[in-house]
Amino acid sequence: MRPLAFVLIAISASVLQADVLHMRDGTRYYGSLISQDDQLVIFRVTLPDGASGSVRVFPAALINRVERTSRGPIAASSPAPDPREQAAQSEDCQQMVREALELISDEDFPAALRALQHAVQRASPQVLQELDEYTRQTHGLPLAELLAETRLYVAQRPRNGRLFGLTYATRYEAAALGRLLEQRVEGLLATTYHERTIAEWVPQREAYETLQPDARRMVADARLAAAMIGARLRFDPRLRPDRDERRRLTALRGELARFVAHVSALPGFTGLSSSDDASDPAVREVSRLRSTRSAASQPAEKEGP
């Protein structure tokens, strides 16, 4: 019994001295924290028998917290991994990126997005640098921008009544995605309809009194601009410390929604209804405006006999 007891004590001691990685799905890993930043956590996992296992790379978005119990120093940057492990990871991730580029050429953008995202989430910082150089050489774009462009293309494909659907982005691409969204919104606002740009129509929406032939296209562009502003407010890291810009964009998004509602409520316009995506502020504004007008058109109830 002594050898077994000794083994159990040794295993318990190794667990008690280990760092604990708590995942968002409830899974826990014991071992030692190697490095940690806003994008990745590199963790050496300890096996149940107390032996040191492999070094694993976890996306920071999947981690709830790291419980630091050991006293070893945390590396300021990722240490050089095992050469064989790095080579295998690099080859796997490069293969994913190559497949993604082929899928983009075949216009299968959803599958390309999945491949690029998986490569980014799996790659270590060193491998990410290699992948970035590879996409610059083969596609003329940094990896983060390629991923962001692919995500935007997929987000703009109408489905289930949604004009624009962007609900997730990796931290790796967030800054590039924010810049692309900013450029797209500026382009939409600068589009001219009936001798004025959308940016000029928005604060003067009451001046738009009669439907023009391009009204539906104008409304679609205004709705898309509002949706992209919402995505930028959610994902663009540059906006987090800039409260004034966040307030400006929030106000602009509301103005765009009111402009869309005003045009959609004009007689003869049937291109927008409450059956569209309920998260779209323009759709909510249209529903509110129609409810208000419907209530105002009801005859007042008479009091008394």
Q: What is the 3-state secondary structure (H, E, C) of 147-171?
A: HHHHHHHHHCCCECCECCCCCCCCC
Given its phi and psi angles, is residue 190 left (phi above 0), alpha (psi -120 to 50 degrees) or beta?
Answer: alpha
Q: For residue 166, what pLDDT is reported?
A: 92
Q: How confident is the model at residue 2 (pLDDT cuts 50, 70, 90)?
A: very low
Give the least confident one: 115-129, 172-186, 237-251.
115-129
More confident residue, 4 or 37: 37
Q: For residue 223, what pLDDT is reported?
A: 93
In the DSSP assignment, the letter for residue 73 is: P
Burial of 284 (0-12, 13-18, 19+ CB in 10 A): middle
| Residue 150 CA, distance from chain mean position | 12
Give percent of the chain above pLDDT 70.
Answer: 75
Q: Are strands 192-193 and 19-23 parallel, antiparallel or unpaired?
A: unpaired
Cα–Cα distances (Å) from 176 to 93, 144, 167, 170, 268, in that order, read 20, 6, 16, 11, 40
Q: Helices 174-189 and 215-235, interaxial angle, to 10°?
A: 150
The amino acid sitting at 150 is: T
Overall average pLDDT of the 157-168 stretch? 81
More confident residue, 98 or 30: 98
pLDDT digits (tens, 9 = 90+) for 106-162: 999 999 999 999 999 989 888 999 999 999 999 899 999 999 999 999 999 877 667
Q: For residue 43, what pLDDT is reported?
A: 80
More confident residue, 163 or 137: 137
The torsion angles phi and psi of 81, rounded to 5 degrees, stand at -75, 175
Share the mean pLDDT of the chain.
81
Q: How confident is the model at residue 291 (pLDDT cuts 50, 70, 90)?
A: low
Closest CA to 200 of 191, 209, 210, 213: 191
Q: What is the largest CA-CA distance in the chain?
A: 98
CA end-to-end distance (rounded Å), the chain: 97
Give 44's Cβ-side CA count (13 Å radius).
17
pLDDT digits (tens, 9 = 90+) for 266-290: 888 875 554 556 566 666 666 665 5
Q: How confident is the model at residue 17 (pLDDT cuts 50, 70, 90)?
A: low
The torsion angles phi and psi of 61, rounded to 5 degrees, stand at -65, -20
Token pair of 25 as six digits: 């799905």
Q: What is the SS3 assignment for 205?
A: helix
pLDDT digits (tens, 9 = 90+) for 23-81: 888 888 888 887 777 777 888 888 765 555 667 778 888 888 888 875 444 444 445 55
Overall average pLDDT of the 231-260 stretch? 95
Q: How confident is the model at residue 96 (pLDDT cuts 50, 70, 90)?
A: very high
